[in-house]
Structure 1
């Protein structure tokens, strides 16, 4: 509903005018008037108000607080049904350069626990260096993740747990003469123990990956293009990249396999009030890979890791209607499918369709950061998501 200020403004104007009228009616004769009353001092805003409310419209806003850097505690509410929801806390340290607010440095230390017993804790950092000529990301952590796989012979699902002794991922990208283009190496090292959460005698060989210890070590390379107007909640521009990671015994991996990702995201303003977003993600895995590393559909409304195969394609379109400088409504729809290829336990998924709607509030105007809620409906029913930044932010640069 569009806000109409006319009646409210008239009421306020009348309330402000009323004391003036009464003062004229009850005012003493001019010769009896005394000296004017001293003006009341202007009340200064508190530090709390300056930190959490915008100076231009007085609305709740975290821009000033976040721009100062330092500690920013952020609760994490997990709504993913694949892990039965959950909760966590992330201590976020943000640095925003005054001359280039797009180059935000983030340092995050956090822990989460979910309803099905999964947990994790770790540290993540992203930013730029050498005068923005280099962008980097790295993270380290430990944890335990319980999920379900859906092999073709067990359509009801096979629950398994991966306990990670460690996981370490990193990327470094050198920006070329045209800073929209960048390229550089990728690193991915993990040690885990996988087990099935059922007592099954004489486990078939093709399920043996679920009952063993495993080390993976990968080096890779990525090529990226990025001209978005904002890294957190883009409204214009494109982010396209292709990455390949090679797990090999030479890098400490117990298995030789390859992971390939080609992702494209586009954002376009159709008018001052309407904008369009679209994504295409193609994820593929080849070689002697652990079955639980198989690619999967990634869409709002589709349970995480529900549909897996050697190749997964996920596409989604999002339309946003800006109803005020702070508030926006959006709708989205997606299509995904997997190709089992030579996968040992999965079957082709067929086309999976999902969609829904949501809203956003501009929680940090100066940083262009939105937060809100999405409700999506897919093959397994309705799912809701809490969003901080764009819904696709996890896979964007």
Structure 2
């Protein structure tokens, strides 16, 4: 379902944090690249993380169990010295640094802010209520239930609910999100290179997946679904018929599809080694309740590797395509840090980005990144071919949850539209990955 999230790259910023936006982003599994700049929720990783060097106490904390309340083992007859709430949950017992591992692994209710820095919606803020259930016999199979709401600087609003978990002894990984919202966006079709503003009002968006594990090597496959009902309004008149028919009406879409996924990352939040890749196809048809017949195809690859004790790099390759009688605002877009969300859309879109990270210490990392993307307008010629679009920048990370492998930080990227600022929880590609 991460591919749904990444389709916060396809609500046309229409709700790409963390695995709907949290629910909102899920709803908007269609806002091209809004997900890049919505801070994902710091949730425990889905994949096993190396336990080398982790103490029994840390293992218990990561599993959601209580850890001893003492700083040191007291002498016989002396009462134990209790830790303060702050020290117990927000200070790492190994190095004494600020750390949220014990707090996040404890389970229960966690309120978290959503910070939106995407220029296309003039930034914004929201709040998510996260409920985590961590099985004591298998901490990797975390059940997540998330309710969230947000509002942006240009008046966009949204809210929803998202749930992810496991069934059948962990063989089935399910994800489902539902939400609604109003999104004020901007598109750049061929006839209006300076952009046109429009609004998509979602009465509902329901999407999800059910992936069944194939063997024990990281492969999974299964159905995906996506159902939405929205009304769209365009703020100008006299547009070409190919665009006009997409607006000032109500549209219902219904899609079923299938995906094949592979996940060999050492951590699903901030991976440093391994591969994550998937291929998916979704088919909107009248038989599924869709007003239009069209198809969406995605093939994504993300690779991570270490180059020694302090250097590690990553590479992404993404292809997104759409065919048939698709609404123009659902066309995929280039997703690179430094490129405005849904600025460059087309029938076929390719994006690639590389990142090199230098680990200064156990807590701090510096990184540099750069990438290129291109769009092909295809047969309908709604959008122009973009040509080669380049962007890049630099950032830093702080390991906020050592036991869970979660980094947070800031990226500053430069692209065709100038400078863009991002707040990152986990890897910058986390919402696009599976």
TM over 0.5: yes
How far does residue 99 in structure 1 lie from its aligned partner after superposition?
A: 4.7
Q: Is 1:381 the equivalent of 2:418?
A: yes
Corresponding position: 1:371 with 2:399: no
Corresponding residue for 1:167? Answer: 205
Higher fraction of strand: 1
Is the partner of 1:295 in helix, strand or coil? coil
Q: Is the 8 A contact 1:101 1:367 kept in 2?
A: no
**Residue of structure 2 aligned with 1:125, choices 148, 163, 167:** 163
Partner of residue 243, structure 2: 207
1:227 matched residue in structure 2:
264
Q: Are the counterparts in 2 of residues 309 and 343 from structure 1 also a CA contact under 8 Å?
A: no
1:142 lines up with 2:180 in the alignment = yes
Paired residue for 2:234? 196
Specify the structure having the higher radius of gyration (Cα).
1
- Aligned mates of 2:257, 2:200 — CA distance in 1: 24
- 1:186-335 to structure 2, matched below 5 A, reads 186-198=224-236, 200=237, 202-208=238-244, 209-335=246-372
CA distance in 2, matches of 1:228, 1:55: 27
Q: What is the TM-score of this pair, normalised by structure 2?
A: 0.80
Aligned equivalents of 1:105 and 1:369: distance in 2?
18
**Structure 1 residue 63 corresponds to structure 2 residue 101:** yes
Question: Equivalents in 1 of 2:147, 2:239: separation in Å?
Answer: 39
Equivalent residues in 2 for 1:33-44, closer than 5 Å: 43-44=81-82
Gaps of 5+ in 1: 1-39
TM-score by length of 1: 0.87
Distance 1:104 1:389 in 2: 17
2:391 to 354, 360, 372: 354
CA distance in structure 2 between the aligned counterparts of 1:234 and 1:285, rounded to whole angstroms = 30
Maintained 8 Å contact 2:166/2:173: yes
Deviation at 1:63, TM superposition (A): 0.8
Match for 2:141 among 103, 121, 125?
103
Secondary structure at the counterpart of residue 393 of structure 1: coil
Using the alignment, how far apart are the partners of 1:315 and 1:230 within structure 2? Answer: 21
Bigger drift between 263-272 and 205-214 goes to: 205-214
User: For each residue in 1:120-140, what CA deviation from the matched residue of structure 2 results, as whole angstroms up to 9, or x when unmatched?
Assistant: 100111222222211111100
Q: 2:222 matched to which residue of 1?
A: 184
Which residue in 2 is equivalent to 1:155? 193
List runs of 5+ in structure 2 lacking aligned partners. Answer: 1-77
2:70 matched to which residue of 1?
A: none
1:358 Cα deviation (Å)? 0.6
Aligned residues of 1:102 and 1:231 also touching (Cα < 8 A) = no
Q: What is the DSSP-based 3-state SS (H/G/I as helix, E as strand, rest coil) of the residue aligned with 1:395?
A: coil
Is the 2:183–2:199 Cα contact (8 Å) retained in structure 1? Answer: yes
Alpha-carbon separation, structure 1, partners of 2:402 and 2:343: 36
1:90 aligns with 2:125: no
C-alpha distance in 2, partners of 1:280/1:94? 32
Q: Distance in 1 between matches of 2:275 and 2:99?
A: 27
The structural deviation recorded for 1:43 is 4.7
CA distance in 2, matches of 1:271, 1:83: 40
- TM-align CA RMSD: 1.5
Classify the secondary structure of the residue corresponding to 1:82: helix
- Equivalent residue pairs, number: 357
Q: Report SS of the residue matched to 1:309.
A: coil
Q: Residue 291 of structure 1 contacts residue 344 of structure 1 at CA under 8 Å; is this kept in 2?
A: no
* Residues 282-326 of structure 1, C-alpha deviations (whole Å, 9 max, x = no match): 000000000111111011000000000000011000111111111
| SS across alignment from 2:323 | strand
Contact 2:190 2:381 survives alignment (8 Å): no
Matched, 1:52 2:90: yes
1:90 alignment partner, SS class: strand
Q: Helix, strand or coil for the counterpart of 2:215?
A: coil
Distance in 2 (CA, whole Å) between partners of 1:204 and 1:393 is 37
